[in-house]
Amino acid sequence: MLDIVILPAPRSAGDVSLESAILKRRSRRHFLPSPVSDSQISQILWAAYGYKDPSAGQKTGRGVRTCPSAGALYPLEIYLVAGSVDGIERGLYNYIPAEHTLRRINRTNQQPGEEFQPNEASQPGEDIRPALYIACRNQGMILQAPATLLYTIIYSRVTARYGDRGIHRYVPMDIGHSAQNVYLQAEAMGLGTCAVGAFDDARVKEVIGLPDDEEPLYLLPIGVPSQV
């Protein structure tokens, strides 16, 4: 069982124009039971927070990522809750933009001294969607969607430079830039998503196993919409 999943290379051109994706964009709350593919998830993660050239992912500075970030800090973390993704085993993963890979979250890959302590629900092969569904106040799209992106923030990454303004001004900007990319990329591939902000923060932290200094902000369930 691999702890690192190498994602398929993202495409830099598609069959749907940006204008068409914008016109079609809407929140999709109902999904078919159809799985999504690892290629589709790869494309969405790249659009959300990836490097424009994944082969040069170690570069730093402005203009090298698919979305902007205040001070080029990129303080967000993105987790993938995989429930029915062809090519990716069920479970919880952390997206590593610099490598365009997924790191499986479980106790076996925890490094000595790390505070990260996932609970039993996030063990390899386990479907954590039912627990996440409850944490999200029983919103059916969390249970239906074959995959969900969870955005989290470690506030110290922005407060060190910007203080409270980083929390109240720049973090909301960052997540808005990234999430809109997800909306448009999903539409361009015939998929759908819906922003979820109504959830029990403490329960989501427990389900995912987040450390004390990391907070959940936003969820985006991804799937084939059942209603056009």
Q: Which runs of consecutive H residues, i.e. helices, occur in 92-200?
A: 129-135, 140-144, 156-162, 164-165, 171-188
Q: What is the pLDDT of residues 205-228, one digit of tens each?
A: 999 999 999 999 999 999 999 976
Question: Does the structure show a pLDDT above 60 at 122?
Answer: no
Phi/psi of residue 209, nearest 5 degrees: 85, 40
Measured CA to CA, the distance from residue 218 to residue 199 in angstroms comes to 9
- How far apart are the C-alpha atoms of 201 and 206, rounded to whole Å? 9
From the options 3.90.550.10, 3.40.30.10, 2.60.40.2480, 3.40.109.10, give the CATH code of 16-223.
3.40.109.10
Q: Which pLDDT band holds residue 109 (cuts at 50, 70, 90)?
A: very low
| Residues 132 and 204: beta-carbon distance below 8 Å | yes
Mean pLDDT, rounded, of the chain: 89
Question: Which of 4-13, 108-117, 199-208, 218-227 shows the lowest per-residue confidence on average (mean pLDDT)?
Answer: 108-117
pTM of the model: 0.88
Q: Where are the domains of the chain?
A: 16-223
